[in-house]
Homo-oligomer: A and B are copies of this chain.
Amino acid sequence: MSKTLAENTSDARSRLLDAAMTVIRQKGFSATTVDDICQAAGLTKGSFFHYFKSKQDLGVAAAQHFADMADGLFGSADYRKLADPVDRLLGYVDLRVAILQGPISSFTCLLGTMTQEVYKSHPAILAACDRHMAEHIGELVKDITEARDLYCPDALWTPDSLGLHIQAVLQGSFIFAKARGGPEVAVEILGHLRRYLKMLFKR
């Protein structure tokens, strides 16, 4: 019943996944050792391999875990209730800007980070990252499609391509946040994304 604070106290598997999310976003997948994760979770290796049959297996599960967390965050956000689909898209971007706080590893995308690293070496992880990113984009594409039908049905671009573009800008902004050691540069970059969206959907 008694629980320490930093090391969260839910079941061991969740603790390992939370730890993995944090550590992998800091050091990358290859550079994080199983021991790193165990230490961060306050558990031992035996426990780790009780829940995950390999490090790659953990990678896949961590991608899932991250996607679930993101789903919760964006699925329940206030901007989702706005009537105009363009407002929802801008609300999404604004929320992403608002999130840019605290340590870098707290707002960057585990899926993008792992994709970069494992695309040749761990196909299972790559596939998981691709699938979860596609699902996340899928939600955006719903709003994009609606907005396009409403404000520019004759536009030359497809909703899917714009969803990808939005996500690409985000991923790119994370890289520069890492390079510069802070989120300020990402805010500037997302400013252009926001402007582009407003220009596309002239009301």
Contacts and interface: CB of A to CB of B under 8 A. Distances in A.
A74 interface: no
Contacts of A175: 112, 115-116, 168, 171-172
A113 to B, nearest CB: 6
Interface stretch (A4-12, A45-53, A79-87, A185-193): A185-193
Contacts of A117: 27-28, 30-31, 116-117
Nearest to A123: B181
A176 interface: yes
A163 to B, nearest CB: 10
A65 interface: no
Contacts of A199: 196, 199
A130 B176 CA distance: 8
Q: Decide if the interface of chain A is mainly helix, strand, loop or mixed.
A: helix
Contacts of A178: 115-116, 119, 126
A192 B104 contact: no
Contact of A167 (B129, B172, B191): B172
A112 B175 CA distance: 7
A179 interface: yes
A3 interface: no
B165 A130 contact: no
A161 B191 contact: yes
Which 3 A-B residue pairs are closest in the complex by CB-CB distance? Answer: A168-B172, A172-B172, A30-B30
